[in-house]
Chain A
């Protein structure tokens, strides 16, 4: 499926227009495409989209010379991608380079305890988990840290949709086990 060239085009357009909401939506959509296609590369788009959105929202980053330099780098990399398909190594290399640069930028400039790229992985993994996959699948696709993911999910109301037995039913079952 992966029509990567259209993903790169969309990413470029959103970045040039400084559309951080659009980038976040792009991040959500590509994470779900990754789940539907079982394709880790689509998660890289999600990571880039989310990271760009979060970084450009910070005025102290967006106004920095480092960001200006990064913007040039990003647009150059995106221009390298003339045509991409599933088997293209260029796509993978470009995505890897962009993610790597975003990680460095976040470490150097950011005031975050948690690198924005790692946060992007957790966000993508949460979307994947909330759309039906297990934590193991979400982690496998995104590379998100398990503890960070579990902690993030624990602070949401995701579990409210997934009740099966009541607490009393579960406790009675456990008590029976220990009485045997």
Chain B
């Protein structure tokens, strides 16, 4: 069983690009998708009463009803430790910068609590804090024209609390599904289906660089 904790972003992107069936497809390959109550609120409870977004919310609601997404509780103590350490790690002009939100911290905490294999998240800050905090610090310094001071103790605490977390994006989930036959029903158009779906995910907010999009276009299945 491959336990995948999901942030809101990939789920919303899949729903908006008519790719929500990637989830049941991957479930048949052994994936189990978990979400926190905050994510459920964001993808279903909030948008379901907004006409523009209601249908997307209904589709995701059905995914929960069909038990393809499982809502799990979060250890709030661990969540707060993760959030507080992340948000004390970088100082700009002597002040700590708030980098991540409680929702993102909850996903990280829930990942650790449930022994997950991957966190599906499309936004870049959480990913960078885990994979390359120095790159994030450099970027912020460049953007503000001011050097970020790293509070090593806080960053080390965050790194320790989130050690071993594997980040994947909606694009990688789509790629693994495609490799296993997701677009086979498209026949000779299956590669084009994948390549254009990657563009659609980027437009829906998946943090993909131009180079990465080009690299995805080169994939053959």
Q: Footprint of B on A, CB under 8 Å?
A: 32, 35-38, 129-137, 139-140, 146-147, 149-151, 153-155, 157-168, 170-171, 173-175, 177-178, 180
Contact B97 A174 (CB under 8 A): no
Task: List 18 A-B residue pairs with CB atoms under 8 Å apart, sorted by A's residue number.
Answer: A129-B125, A132-B99, A133-B125, A134-B126, A135-B125, A136-B100, A147-B56, A147-B205, A154-B203, A158-B124, A160-B210, A162-B124, A162-B135, A163-B209, A164-B135, A170-B169, A171-B175, A178-B2
Q: Does B37 lie at the interface of the complex (its beta carbon under 8 Å from any beta carbon of A)?
A: no
Stretch at the interface among B7-15, B64-72, B74-82, B153-161: B7-15
Q: Using Cβ atoms and an 8 Å threshold, which residues of chain A touch B173?
A: 174
A135 is contacted by which of B9, B144, B211 (Cβ under 8 Å)? B9
* Known A136-B103, A163-B211, A178-B176; contact A154-B205, beta-carbon cutoff 8 A: yes
- Which residue in A133, A146, A153, A175 is a CB contact (below 8 Å) of B12? A146
A-facing residues in B67-122 (Cβ within 8 Å): 90, 92-93, 95, 97-104, 117-118, 122
In chain B, what residue has the closest Cβ to A1? B95
Given contacts A133-B97, A146-B12, contact A177 B2 (CB under 8 A): yes
CB-defined interface of B202-215 with A at 8 Å, one 1/0 digit per residue? 11111111111001
- Establish whether residues A151 and B203, one from each chain, have CB atoms under 8 Å apart when the complex forms: yes
Main secondary structure of the interface of B (DSSP, over half): helix
* B175 CB contact (under 8 Å) in A139, A147, A166, A174: A174
- Interface contact B101-A136, CB-CB below 8 Å: yes
The binding surface of chain A is classed by DSSP as helix
Specify which of A36, A129, A150, A174 is in contact with B13 (CB 8 Å cutoff): A150
Residues of A within 8 A of B90 (CB): 132
Name the one of B2, B202, B209, B216 contacting A180, with C-beta atoms under 8 angstroms.
Answer: B2
Q: Which residues of A contact B12 (CB under 8 A)?
A: 146-147, 150
What range describes how many residues of B lie at the interface? 35 or more
Check if B30 is an interface residue, CB within 8 A of chain A. yes
Residue of B nearest to A140 (CB): B101
B121: shortest Cβ distance to chain A, in Å? 9
The interface residues of chain B lying within 8 Å CB-to-CB of A150 are 9, 12-13, 122, 204-205
Residues of B163-221 at the interface with A, using a CB-CB cut-off of 8 Å, are 166, 168-169, 172-173, 175-176, 179-180, 202-212, 215-216, 219
B19 vs chain A, min Cβ distance (A)? 14
Q: Can you name the residue of chain B whose Cβ is closest to the Cβ of A150?
A: B205
Q: Give the residue name and chain of the A residue nearest to B135 (CB).
A: A164
Chain A residues lying within 8 Å of B202, measured Cβ to Cβ, are 154, 159
Least distance between A137 CB and chain B CB atoms (Å): 5
How far is B160's CA from A106's CA once the two chains are assembled, in angstroms? Answer: 49
Smallest CB separation, A103 vs chain B (Å) = 16
B58 within 8 A of partner (CB): no
Q: Would you give the shortest CB distance from A68 to chain B, in whole angstroms?
A: 33
Which of B97, B127, B144, B206 interacts with A164 by CB under 8 Å? B127
